[in-house]
Chain A
Amino acid sequence: NAGVTQTPKFQVLKTGQSMTLQCAQDMNHEYMSWYRQDPGMGLRLIHYSVGAGITDQGEVPNGYNVSRSTTEDFPLRLLSAAPSQTSVYFCASSLSSSRPENYGYTFGSGTRLTVV
């Protein structure tokens, strides 16, 4: 039982490049989400999914796309990287999609992204 696995752990991109951050969970969790964490700020929700085939926008969705074709995987795509997207990205999952915070989130170990 690996929990939530994120890859890569580190990535450097040039402005304008695109890439996909991978997130996989093996706990059969309904709810999956992506957060970004910036210095001096709390975690901010980018996108989330309440089940396979269902995604929705969070607080800061611009510049990011997601899809949820399976229960296990929830990749985050950066369409055209910008320096403002330099951040640490966390994928989190929860057992229930109706009240995810009641069950708590399981976080991945993060992807540190630098856009130059």
Chain B
Amino acid sequence: KNQVEQSPQSLIILEGKNCTLQCNYTVSPFSNLRWYKQDTGRGPVSLTIMTFSENTKSNGRYTATLDADTKQSSLHITASQLSDSASYICVVRGRMNRDDKIIFGKGTRLHILP
């Protein structure tokens, strides 16, 4: 069964600290993986996309990594800010029965405390 599992389910850290969110997937064959940020009461917004050949990609204080061999991705947030409080959703695209499939993870809820 194609699945996308995110951990932890929720995370609380102090402002200024770093954190890492995990995404493990079993979607195969794999096409790409995207991280979205969803602020409370808003729709998700794309942060970064990783394709099979990419290992690391940065977007400001956000750095995503991908290990296609172990089917793991991480999103590292550096020097967290209060505005980073949000849900972070991992979305994996693959093929199942010759059809493209987009699988959404359940998200990690991140709380930044002042």
Query: Measuring CB to CB, which residues of chain A are less than 8 angstroms from any residue of chain B?
Result: 4, 40-45, 90, 92, 99-102, 104-105, 107-110
Whether B106 pairs with A101 at a CB distance below 8 angstroms is no
Looking at the complex, which one of B41, B89, B100 makes contact with A110 (CB distance below 8 Å)? B41
Whether A101 pairs with B102 at a CB distance below 8 angstroms is yes
| Seed contacts A107-B44, A109-B42; 15 additional CB < 8 Å A-B pairs | A42-B89, A42-B106, A42-B107, A44-B104, A101-B31, A101-B102, A102-B32, A102-B93, A104-B46, A104-B49, A107-B43, A108-B43, A109-B41, A110-B41, A110-B42
Query: 9 nearest interchain CB pairs?
Result: A107-B43, A42-B104, A104-B46, A43-B104, A101-B93, A42-B106, A107-B44, A90-B43, A109-B42
From residue B61, how far is it (CB to closest CB) to chain A in Å?
20
Determine the residue in chain A with the shortest Cβ distance to B48. A104
Can you list, as one digit per residue, whether each of B20-42 has a CB less than 8 Å from chain A (1) or not (0)?
00000000000110100000011
Q: Is B45 an interface residue (CB 8 A)?
A: yes
Whether A42 pairs with B103 at a CB distance below 8 angstroms is yes
- Residue from B4, B34, B42, B43 with most neighbouring chain A CB atoms (10 Å): B43
- Residue from A92, A104, A108, A110 with most neighbouring chain B CB atoms (10 Å): A104
Determine the residue in chain B with the shortest Cβ distance to A3. B43
Chain B residues near A102 (CB, 8 Å)?
32, 49, 93
Determine the residue in chain B with the shortest Cβ distance to A107. B43
- Bound form: Cα–Cα A52–B105 in Å: 29
